[in-house]
Amino acid sequence: MSTWKALTGAQAVAEAMRQANPDVVAAYPITPQTPIVEQFASFVANGIVDTEMIPVESEHSAMSCTVGAAAAGARAMCATASQGLALMWEVVAAVPGLRLPIVMPIVNRALSAPINIHCDHSDAMGATTIGWIQIYSENAQEAYENTLLAIRLAEHKDVLLPVMVMQDGFIISHGVENVEVFDDEAVKNFVGERKPDRYLLDVDHPYTIGPLALPDYYFEIKRQQEAAMENALKVYLEVGKELSKISGHDYPYFEEYKTEDAEAVIVILSSAAGTAKDAVDELRNEGKKVGLVKPKLFRPFPYREMRKALEKFKAIGVLDRSMAFGAYAPLYTEVRNALFESENRPKLQSYIFGLGGKDIFKSDIKKVFDELLSGNLNPEEQRYIRLRG
């Protein structure tokens, strides 16, 4: 039976980790990820899980330990945020090529400089090109469920790729909400045990991991990684269907909210999507035909499905919580890409909001919708929400 608890997003992810009972967790505390590791360490200390917890001296070591454990055949997890992700980057970038199914919760936080501990998506959006699967969560409940889904997705034999599971720093990680924690046994059955085809500690079947690959085979190995990403699109849905049996929730690539007859929609990730849904409801009450699309799976990006979902609208505003400095913002770029093949491209507008934890209110979202409905749009211009003049 499932249990309702009052949990922070960080605690909710720790609950998922408790139920998955990984063999190894190596992590270094960093704001605002710290409470995940703190809570999980208490599970270890109290004997609730039998995980080998390795406190390390830096994030670089944390990911190095996690890689070593995963290569040895363990289910190994890590968790980090912002500067921590930046510090472990060298090893993070190696994981997809090593084909190690590491799941790493990320508590999204702005990157220095200037130093800032609050939420934006700069940390994870900087890691979209290196082969990690990325799933974004709106609230504590989704962070919990996405973590469970990620374990099965990462370890699937057709995928074998690492996954980052995102939640918004402080807004979700430190906010207490109602969370439905599913039955321990049901979850344990769902995540099962990691059963790798090959692993370093299997001394009867030795294999090489992380060899030198010169121009002869490097390219081919990278091409296989891309094939695994393509497979991940299919496996994500399959694993999601299985999880649905426990949770009763759906796991689509993206959530469509009141889009059926919508003229203007916004595309937005994570916690701000919750605020935006309330704005959509209020505008619907005023008779305005507005809706929302919230991507969940960002890598691999479901271009075809996104095009089909979006091409019917007149105007689309894409709200990014990070910038790509000198290029279109990350989410906006993907929406543009998805719509290129469309016969009837909607009018697009890019917005940046919430960098370094700048608040976003329903009233801001309503202004965006008003602008989208007014038609005063310029797809080549980036607009800024709540930026001081």
Partner 1 sequence: MKEVYEVRMHARAGQGAKSGSQLLAEAAFKEGKWIQSFPEYGSERRGAPTVSYTRISDKRLRTHEPIVNPDAVLVFDPGLARTIDVTSGLSEESGILIVNTTDSVDEVKKQTGFNGKVYTLDATGISLDLLHIDAPNVPMLGALIKVTGIVKLESLEEVIKEHFLEKLGEEKVNKNIEGLKRAYEEVSK
The residues binding partner 1 (CB under 8 A) are 4, 6, 117-118, 139, 168, 170-172, 174-178, 271-272, 274-275, 277-278, 359-362
Residue type, 335: V
Q: What is the distance between the alpha carbons of residues 294 and 307, in angstroms, rounded to a whole number?
A: 14
194 or 366: CB nearest partner 1: 366
Burial class (CB in 10 A: 0-12, 13-18, 19+), 367: middle
Q: What is the distance between the alpha carbons of residues 324 and 316, in angstroms, rounded to a whole number?
A: 20
181 or 360: CB nearest partner 1: 360
Please report how close the Cβ of residue 66 comes to partner 1 at its closest, in angstroms. 28
74 or 181: CB nearest partner 1: 181
Please report how close the Cβ of residue 311 comes to partner 1 at its closest, in angstroms. 27
Please report how close the Cβ of residue 278 comes to partner 1 at its closest, in angstroms. 5
227 or 387: CB nearest partner 1: 387
64 or 270: CB nearest partner 1: 270
6 or 221: CB nearest partner 1: 6
Q: What share of the chain is helix, strand, coil (3-state, %, to 5)?
A: 40, 20, 40
Please report how close the Cβ of residue 176 comes to partner 1 at its closest, in angstroms. 4
Please report how close the Cβ of residue 118 comes to partner 1 at its closest, in angstroms. 7
Segment (H or E) for 165? strand 163-168
Please report how close the Cβ of residue 57 comes to partner 1 at its closest, in angstroms. 24
Q: What is the distance between the alpha carbons of residues 186 and 171, in angstroms, rounded to a whole number?
A: 29
Q: What is the distance between the alpha carbons of residues 306 and 317, in angstroms, rounded to a whole number?
A: 14
58 or 178: CB nearest partner 1: 178
Please report how close the Cβ of residue 369 comes to partner 1 at its closest, in angstroms. 16
48 or 176: CB nearest partner 1: 176
115 or 221: CB nearest partner 1: 115
Report H helices in the chain.
9-20, 34-45, 59-72, 82-87, 89-92, 95-98, 122-125, 140-155, 184-191, 218-247, 271-285, 303-310, 330-339, 362-374
Please report how close the Cβ of residue 361 comes to partner 1 at its closest, in angstroms. 5
Two structure tokens written together for 296 = 């969940």
Q: How many CB atoms lie within 10 A of CB 327?
A: 9
Please report how close the Cβ of residue 175 comes to partner 1 at its closest, in angstroms. 4
CA distances from 79 to 118, 128, 131, 180, 203 (A): 17, 17, 17, 22, 30
Q: Which long-range contacts (CB under 8 A, 24 or more apart) does 69-73 make?
A: 69/23, 69/24, 69/26, 70/24, 70/100, 70/101, 70/102, 71/98, 71/100, 71/199, 71/200, 71/209, 71/210, 72/199, 72/200, 72/201, 73/194, 73/196, 73/199, 73/200, 73/201, 73/202
